[in-house]
């Protein structure tokens, strides 16, 4: 690929809910959508059991921050990767594999993140979610101060930013994904200067990225928008297109999430 400024780069994010279960779907989608970079979440695999060779055979370099049975994030890139950081800085005692970032082709910094769900809200899980968001805010602020090139923080944020992003706001009002504490921290990220790529180009309500497996949520379009691509000012200035590909949700053995993607160009 030619350097940015002469062409575009396509970056996608997808919570696959187990890479081994969803491997056929991911390979099919890669062949059809052909992203330059795919940020994966909830791979539920350790580094040694991740199907690296299958992706490398398609021309993708692979960076993995895995964990047995839970969590896990990865970056697939058709462009060279360097300066990989595994784990969200700020808490060396945090053993959950929820963050990985890499410099892509010397042109863009891309991070794949999987925020904690946080339910139930009266438990330590919600406190962990809020603390994780506070760490993300500090790291994002430091990254934006340091980097002059485009930055993309992509992944499953487990946050419904507004009532426009959920099929039934009243029913979800007390959920950790909708609680004011979660939403205010998401807005704080935007106040750093980050742009919600999808909403920047698609202001109409909806644009769901997740449908539960239960109660016919997919068939009834009872969805949530919780997967986001947040762009630094340099990346937002280059935003050409952004979309959500709902097609894989209708495939056999689907993830409950679908890919969200953006194209950046000078």
Please identify every residue annotated as catalytic.
114, 156
CA dist 254 and 212 (Å) reads 11
Q: Which two tokens stand for residue 261?
A: 């993607």
179 φ, ψ to 5°? Answer: -55, 145
The residues with which 262 forms a beta bridge, in sequence order, are 11, 242
State CA 34 to chain mean position distance. 17
Using an 8 Å Cβ cutoff, are 118 and 182 in contact?
yes
Terminal C-alpha separation, the chain: 14
Closest CA to 100 of 117, 116, 76, 129: 76
């Amino acid at each position: 690929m030619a350097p940015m400024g002469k062409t575009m780069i396509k970056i996608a994010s997808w919570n696959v809910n187990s890479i081994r279960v969803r491997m056929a779907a991911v390979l099919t989608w890669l062949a059809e959508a052909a992203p330059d970079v795919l940020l994966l979440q909830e791979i539920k695999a350790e580094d040694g059991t991740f199907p690296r060779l299958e992706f490398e055979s398609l021309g993708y370099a692979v960076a993995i921050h895995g964990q047995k049975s839970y969590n896990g994030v990865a970056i697939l890139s058709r462009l060279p990767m360097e300066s990989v950081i595994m784990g969200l800085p700020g808490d060396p005692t945090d053993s959950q594999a929820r963050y990985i970032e890499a410099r892509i082709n010397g042109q863009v910094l891309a991070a794949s993140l999987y925020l904690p769900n946080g339910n139930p809200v009266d438990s330590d899980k919600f406190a962990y979610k809020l603390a994780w968001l506070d760490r993300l805010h500090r790291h994002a602020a430091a990254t934006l101060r340091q980097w002059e090139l485009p930055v993309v923080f992509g992944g499953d944020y487990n946050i419904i930013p507004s009532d426009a992003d959920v099929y039934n706001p009243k029913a979800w009002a007390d959920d950790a994904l909708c609680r004011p504490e979660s939403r205010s921290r998401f807005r704080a990220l935007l106040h750093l200067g980050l742009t919600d790529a999808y909403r920047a180009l698609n202001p109409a309500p909806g644009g769901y990225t997740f449908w539960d497996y239960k109660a016919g949520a997919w068939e009834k379009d009872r969805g949530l928008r919780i997967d986001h691509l947040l762009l630094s000012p340099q990346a937002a200035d280059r935003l050409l297109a952004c979309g959500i590909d709902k097609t894989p949700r209708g495939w056999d053995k689907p993830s409950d999430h679908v890919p969200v993607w953006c194209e950046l160009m000078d």
